[in-house]
Amino acid sequence: MFYGGYAYHGSTFEQTYRCYPASFFDKPHLEGGDKVIMPPSALDRLASLHIEYPMLFELHNDATQRISHCGVLEFVAEEGMIIMPYWMMQNMLLQEGDTVRVKNATLPKGTYVKLQPHTTDFLDISNPKAILEKTLRNFSCLTTGDSIMVAYNNKQYYIDIVETKPASAVSIIETDCEVDFAPPLDYKEPEKPQQPTIPTSKAAAEVGDTVVEDEPKFKPFTGSGKRLDGRASKLQASEVPSTAHSVPLDSNKRANQQTSSAPATTSGASNSTRQKTGKLVFGSSASNNKEPQKAPAKEEEPPKKDELKFQAFSGKSYSLKR
């Protein structure tokens, strides 16, 4: 069957054209979508076949066995010629003047699309979702393996169609489609800092050294305690034997002199403190020992060298009773 000098077979539309980019005919708006411009004879044939709308076509490059899909914008091209977006020609591996076979097709509505940007610059856009939605309004279908072009802010971003469902080519006209993104092609995960590997023998030796060094650093309760009555603490020798030996002999002699030179009258006060160590007791025990406290205090006086030293309970006592 011949129509207008071109051969059409059966009830389907199939024709071979020579392709040219949109820039050859001053139609830059074609670069923002996937639609082509076909000759008027194609419209006459499609009208006679009662093709379903929207009109979708399958493109074949027989030389490289590449297949893609597209829609049609208008029928004003010269006979035997088809005008295509340049990015579509790149997907089909076509040059200016190469032949491409065009065939009508019916595609299911897409439910899922997975996209992968070529560069991470696309993710740096303030709102990439809105830009992508606006761009896809100019597309009629998507084919797995194609790379579409998104123009924004005088810059072109290329995005690969990684996966489409329910088929390898789907229509995206008037349909709700789930969109997923894969990591960009030039994306690199941040490298984790690598810790230098240490042999097990050296590591064990270092751990042992650190333990030995850390042992003598901290010793709790190593201080010495002193009593208010001037006597040596009973727990001092047992708890901290090392500190007891470190005290000079002169201090021991002086302590003995202080205890021997202490007035005998302090026995009453010491008796009161013996009742409950660490507590002050006010009562008859302190007043009854008034007379024996005064007499020996005058007889024996501490040496002048020890006047400035502290002597517990060496003062005079007074009674409230007269």
**Confidence bin at 322 (pLDDT 50/70/90):** low
Q: Which amino acid is at 314?
A: S
Mean pLDDT of 213-227: 69
Asked whether the beta carbons of 161 and 67 are under 8 A apart, the reply is: no
- Confidence (pLDDT) at 41: 93
Q: What is the pLDDT of residues 108-164, one digit of tens each?
A: 999 999 999 998 888 888 888 888 888 888 999 999 999 998 888 888 899 999 999
Of 109-118, 176-185, 208-217, 229-238, the least confident: 208-217
CB atoms within 10 A of CB 272: 20
Residue 48 phi, psi (nearest 5): -75, -25
Distance CA 166, CA 195 (A): 47
Residue 84 pLDDT greater than 90, yes or no: yes
Q: Is the pTM of this model over 0.85?
A: no
Distance CA 85, CA 65 (A): 19
CB contact at 8 A, 141 and 71:
yes
What are the tokens at 159? 């995005």
Contact between 149 and 138 under an 8 Å Cβ cutoff? The reply is: no
Mean pLDDT value of segment 302-316 = 64
Contact in structure between 69 and 56 (CB atoms under 8 Å): yes
Q: Which domains does the chain have, with CATH numbers?
A: 1-106 (2.40.40.50), 107-186 (3.10.330.10), 263-296 (no CATH)
The answer for residues whose C-beta is within 8 angstroms of residue 134's C-beta and 6 or more apart is none
pLDDT given for residue 32 in this prediction: 87
